[in-house]
Structure formats: C-alpha cells, structure tokens
A and B are shown apart, each in its own frame.
Chain A
C-alpha cells in the first residue's frame, strides 16, 4: 500500500494499553473494555500488516482482554448485601491493578532518565587501566560467574602438560596452594591466576590451585575479577573495609 504508516513502539502490552487509555482519555479505573479491546486488536492488526514480529506477551494480553470482554457480558452473580463487593466481581479488576502498578514504574523510569541526564552533565576523571585502578574493570555479577571461571580453568588445563610419571599424586595440597595465593597477595595487591604457575605445570596443579582459589573466595579472603569471558582472572586481597 502506498500509505506510509508510522507505528509507535511499545515496551509491552501494558505499555500499549496505557497509551490507548491516555489517547482516548479514559478513566483507567473504569475502562470501557469492548472499546479498548477493539483498539488493541487494531494495533496488533497494524503490526501484522507491517510484518512486524509480535511478541507472545501481546497475544496473551489480547486473549485476556477478550476473556474480560466476554465475562462483562455475562450476568453478574448476585452480590451479598452491601456494595463493598462490587469491585471484587469486576472482571477488569486484576488488569486495572496491573496497569496502575506498571504506570508507577513507567513514570519512575522517566524521572530516572531526567536524573541521569542531569548527573551526566558532570564527569569524573575516568579510571585509568594504567594506574591499576579498580573501576577500570567492570563490576561483575556476584564477583565472578562460575561458568566463566570454569571456562578459564579449562583453557589453562589444555595448556597444562601431562604429569610426568615420577610426580607423586599428593604433590600439591590445597592448604599449600591457599598459602601460596595468600603469600603472593601479601607481596602484590593483585595477581593473575596465570601467575600462580611456573613455566611448566601439570593438570593436577592447575586443578588444586583452582580449588584453593575457590576455597579462598568462599572464605571471603580474596576477590576474583575477570573483565571478559575467557579473559584473564585477576585475584585481589579482600579488604575488610571494601564494599
């Protein structure tokens, strides 16, 4: 069709419904459900015509609206005495509550955007990797995600030489490796996981050292940081006051 249609983008079905309520200047607590359902479906139809992908949440909401519309047509079950229950039996109640709640956060998000804009007018000196400044490394979820840590260990294992037969199985103890890590950290504030090994190392040594590291993290004695998946693991002392 030769018509150029511009379709507003909505964050989800609730966002779209709020928009329709506002555009039609409707009372959010007393939504004419038949009218809003028609408009909602019209919008989905437009999306379809424009070959836009329609997220499943939009479809679910369409079904919900139709269900509410159907229930509005049914005769209400007789209410017990007193008008207080009028809202309880209103099929729209749950949806209205959801809309009201969502609207609060949508507005809060707008307030936050303004705050960010104002705060953005001030800039701190950016942290510099050269100075070994912490903020240079992104803040990591729960210090380090286990999968990344395991992946890093796996790549080290691939590098590791097979143990020569004369090395006894108990050549590396967990305690000894924990002491090694803490000892190294006493000398330097930060070291790389890689630095814990000499030029030649065995798979067993990597495994024991890795377990020692996990043990120290669990004991909250050290922090492990990694700026990217499969990247270098940095180990730092955990300052009592840090955080």
Chain B
C-alpha cells in the first residue's frame, strides 16, 4: 500500500512498470513469475495497486479482463482518448459481423454451415472480417464428412467486450418468450455488480 503521499513500495513500482509495458492482460501467475514472488503475493499486490489507482484520482485504472489484469484508461476520460485515436482503431462491428459473432460466442466450437443455418444467410464475409480483427479463430476441424473448420472466440474477443472469461457473457435470451419479456429477463439475470448493465 502506498503511504499518504502516494509513494509506492519498490515491489509495487516494479509491478506498475511491468503492467505498463505489457501488451496484453497479465495473469497473477505471470506477474508472480516475472517478479519472482508467490502467486498469492502477486494477487495481493495487484489488488493493492488497483485500490491505489481507484482512490488516487488517476486517469488510469487496473482492470481485470480476459483472464488477467491490464492498465486501462478510465471511462470518464473516454472522450479525450477517442480524440487521440483514429476512427478505424475503434470502428464498431457491422450488424452481420456482430450477429455472426454472437452465434460463435454462444455456440462455439461451431462450423460456418451451422452459423448460416441459424442466421439464414451466407456468413463467409462476416467470418473473414471477424478473423481479420482477431475476434475469432479457427479451432481445428470437426470430425465427420467434409471435416469442416470450427470457429471459436479469442482472448481479443474477451478484451473487446470487457469480459474476464466466457462465463461472463450475458445469458443467451430465452427462446420461447415474447421480445419484451426476454429483454426484461435478461436484465434480471445480468450480474448487477456493474453500474452499466443496460438492456435494450
């Protein structure tokens, strides 16, 4: 824990340096390995640092995402960060891509033909877009006739949607309810630890 003047211990500072330099979320295990400390020690250190960021009035925070911890800018300053970035860095996914991704996320591993059966349209282009953006990957081939390629989501997918792991995906809307009832159910079942769980 830093003292009142906000001075970090050498180990905390080392952790901060490593997290800043990391290009991907770091698990507590990886942090422990890098700093040469025990895993529970690393975890404690991470939580301390996160607290420091939370209470220090800082522009960045330590976020748990995609199976690890990562320094991220705080949502409050998104406007400024967006001005910094070019548009294509943050281009939103098209509807076909998003629908295709939803089928893959909930049904993985899944083949192209299975996705097309659900969406009722060809999905080749959407799949290629998702592959290019690194949100899905080929996970091998299914046994059986034609040995079709099967697709699944990536770590980048978790990061893109701010999920710690796949279990944090919102529950798939129920099948047999009217549209507005479904929306309401989705809200009830969504984890409420986040202030932002909006429903359509």
Contact = CB atoms under 8 A, between A and B. Distances in A.
B17 to A, nearest CB: 12
Nearest to B76: A121
Given A11-B121, A14-B120, A108-B173, A124 B71 contact: yes
29 contacts: A11-B99, A12-B119, A57-B122, A98-B120, A100-B175, A102-B119, A103-B173, A104-B173, A105-B106, A108-B105, A109-B102, A110-B200, A112-B101, A112-B102, A114-B200, A115-B161, A115-B163, A117-B92, A119-B159, A122-B61, A122-B72, A123-B72, A124-B72, A131-B23, A138-B132, A141-B131, A141-B138, A142-B137, A142-B138
Interface residues of B, number: 63
A122 B170 contact: no
Contact of A108 (B71, B89, B102, B159): B102
A139 interface: yes
A113 B98 contact: yes
Contact of B118 (A29, A101, A123): A101
Contacts of B85: 123
Interface string A9-20: 001111100000
A125 B159 CA distance: 13
B90 interface: yes
Interface in B148-184: 154, 156, 159-163, 170, 172-176, 178-179, 182-183
B32 interface: no
Given A12-B121, A55-B121, A119 B162 contact: yes
Given A110-B200, A138-B132, A139-B154, A57 B137 contact: no
Contact of B95 (A104, A107, A109): A109
Given A12-B120, A103-B179, A113-B98, A122 B134 contact: no
